Structure 1
Amino acid sequence: MNPISLRKKLTITFLMIALLSLAFVGLFANVSLGKQFEDYATARLNQTINKTVNQVTDLYVRSGEQWSISSLDETGMALLIDGLILRVEDTNGQVVWDAQVHNNGMCLRILQNMAQNMQSYQANFQGGYEEQSFPAVVNGAEVGTVVVGYYGPFYFNEADLQFLSSLNRILLIAGAVSLGACVLLGAYLARRLSKPITDVIAATGKIAEGNYSDRLTHAENTAELVALSHSVNSLAASLETQETLRKRLTADVAHELRTPLTTLQSTVEAMIDGVWTADETHLNSMREEVLRLNKLVDELGTLSRFESESLRLNTESFDLRELCQQTIQNFESIARQKGVSLTCAGSQAFVEADRDKIGQVLINLMHNALKFTPAGGTVSITTTTEHDRAVLTVRDTGCGIAPEHLPFIFERFYRADPSRARETGGSGIGLAIALAIAKAHNGDIRVSSTVGEGSEFVLSLQLHPVS
């Protein structure tokens, strides 16, 4: 079974909602208006009957307080036109005038016509001939009885039925127009809602093909669609950055391997050609290049182990400040040779961690700080606690790191200034190893830097309270 597009589903959904809404509104309007019109017909009938009783009583008074057959005949025939059948009785119950006696055929035709009208209005309408009796009272004395017959409990005349027919026709036309408008509006909304999603599908298709440069525009003002577009754009940007770093990593690895290998190759070829002799100087040079290669491989292996989920940590409780004081002693001679001042300060900060590996982090950060701090500069280490975190800060007054390089400073082989790589030494993996160790301890390393003023690396670990 082929899947149905979102646009088609939304259009069908809007159409169904419109149909249900129109059906509900139509049913409600029909029932409500029908009930109100029935109440109106009943009230009108009662009002007409009361008017008839008053009219017949007035005839009695105008005829010298006696029943005039000619007047009753004229009034009764006029009432037949309105669908009312009049009968008048005296105080003794004797019939003075009866429309059914006077013109029974016309009365029957009127009742039949009313029944047909009401059946056309409502097929199962339950109605029939009904009568109401009212005393005719003159000056407080009852002079007779006025009986009014009609088709009840209510009835609609021709004008009423035409009005109801016109009203139903108007409602039907309005419903058809509304349904058409809902279809058009639903199709428009379905297209507008589905288009950003189809754009996302197209964008993710390009991402899958390796094209990370295209970005989605936020033309919509729907929060969820804007968030979806933003997420896809962020994914594309992240993948583009990772692809750039991957290519750079490949180039950097090739460069790191090529340099010592080229040196080894040229030295060996010179010895083979007899240009150089295999003396201690040249052999030591070759040994240094081999050691450099060994160091690079070892660091890559170390990084791989630290990034592995199966890394084993030999944790113990120790004070970061004490570790810093011990570590800084190993760098005093290097700092003295460079003319850099080393300081260590702060409060106790106990952690539950692998002491050797955290020491490796500190060593890498110290190497990095001393490497880029000129003579006369300062490298300081500070330990403190913030809430439930132990914080170790390594701050230097070196050359600093440009803002565009900060997001990538912990990437393997990444160097903010590649031209100084050979000059400063190192493989560009130290910071990557430091971050991997921190992550393995559920910690983190943050960096902030200002060009020309120095950098600050902050190691954050879970504080381990000591009783």
Structure 2
Amino acid sequence: MKMATNSWPTRLWQRTSLMQRLALIAMLPTLITAALLVTLLTRHQLVNLRRMAQSNADTVAIQTASICVQPLRNQQLRELLSIADSVGELPHVTRVQIRTAAGQILADHRAPEDSHHPQEILTVMRDVVDRAPSGQTTVLGSVLVGVSLHEAIAAQHASLRHALLVLLLSLMVAGLIGWLAARWISAPLRHLADAVQQLGAGNRKVVVAVTDRTEIGELQQGFNHASAALFDIQRGMQQQIEQATLELAHKNAALEAASVARARFLAAASHDLRQPLYALTLFSAALAVDETDPRRLDRIAHIQECVQSLDHLFSELLDLSRLESGAIQVELSEFPLDRVFIEVCRNFDMVAEQRGLQLTTRHTGLWVRSDRTMLTRMLNNLISNALRYTHLGGVLIGARREGADHLRIEVWDTGRGIAPEHLASVFDEFYRIDDHHHDSSSRGLGLGLATVQRLAQLLDTEVRVKSRLGRGSVFHFKLPGAAAREEPATPGDDMPADHLSGKRVLVMDDDPATLSGIRFLLHSWGCEVAVAEDRLQALEAVENWPAPADLVISDLHLRHGERALDVFAVLDQHYLRDGEAPFARLLITGETRKDRLSEVTARGIPLLHKPVSPQLLRATMQAVWMSARGSS
């Protein structure tokens, strides 16, 4: 049951201090007594004033009636008028009226300036009686006399003002006395309250003086004992806290060292594995070029499957390393969701077909405001996870409006579902749901969904999941919507598939295996390729060409500590000297540190992170070359 709200007097009383309450209690009897006295005296004076006015009016009326007997008997009208005028001149008399017994007005005198209100006039009427010698009485008429109460009321008001002034002075004196008494009585309690505040602020050595042997003195002694006991307890707890803090500091240092070692391991592992994995990706893709032997094609397919599995595992480590190093920064833009859906589904069409699953995207005209790269990576991980745990049916990706300003993006699957006890942990790092239906090549490290959730946090959203065991799951999240508009054509939308054929491509890297693999792959695409490990080899390669390079692909760091950006500048000077157009450029690096990539981002140079699939490499080369050709 809900308690009733306190009334305003209770709330007001709760806000007052002890001294204010004591002063109020001291003033209250004086206030009540003075108010009663003023009320009684005022009422008594008012009654007396009205009695005096009534007596005065009766006297005037009786006297007027007595002197009007003879004139009324003789019907002396002029004499009656004279009497009325004479009586009307008396003090406080405002009206004199003489009437016959039949009610006829014979004389009516009014004050010259009747400015009095009706309620300020007291009216008295007396009969004019003629007494015969025989004792018989005859009513000859009546006399009406009006007496003003203005001066009486003014005297009453003045008396009331004087009484109120006396009351106010009494209250002030009583208040001063009550305030001083309250201060004197409450002083020990106020000192005790100050000591309690000091104790709460951390002063454990505060002591109050014991002023007397009353209950207040007992309270002061009890506070001193409690303060001393609390000081002893705090000193013991402080020692325990210091010891626990020291142990916690050692454990935190160990955890931080382990975290730093883990981050260094991930960075080192990703950097050391990136080069050979990139070369292996390129060589495995180039092996299938112009190969017609079915047995060899089958073996090559197995090799590519293993490379793809290794690339997937490594991509999970790479994403985690980039997130922890801060290399990923949010770059918001507005774009249609359909393009992202089509791009993501294109990446997994072959995987879904190999597993006998249907990968479907529900086309939409909605636009979103987000980071396109992050959103693509989130959907890639969600679809990859859905395909991994789906054996029959398929995966659906779609979007719909959520409220007025947001969109809801969903990834559905008809997989085995997630048990309720696993739902709270699916976004944890290195967490995998055991599934005996999967072969080892299709398993991940348990980082895909953790990466999705971290990317979602960067985009200021949250990925949620609903699942029914044996029926499937749906992952969904919200993003801000954007107004739909006509999208401009992007470079490469209308380019032919073999447009790279015959293009001069300079590749720079400090790893010979990578250079050999990419040269082999680009040759299979019909490109004219030259490779270099440093600035001198790059200049020598371009000088041997009869025409400028169409595209320069480079790692960020080259041999002898040289930087690709510096070599780009040297090549720019070389071509500008001959008045030739600038070349297209593309960086492919394993670097994830934000401070080392800031200059690349500032210059707007396209950047890919190793390992790069041949499909992505070819598409990026097309886009970069077309963009450079359009701007030249």
TM-score class, shorter-chain normalisation, is 0.3 to 0.5
Structure 2 length-normalised TM: 0.32
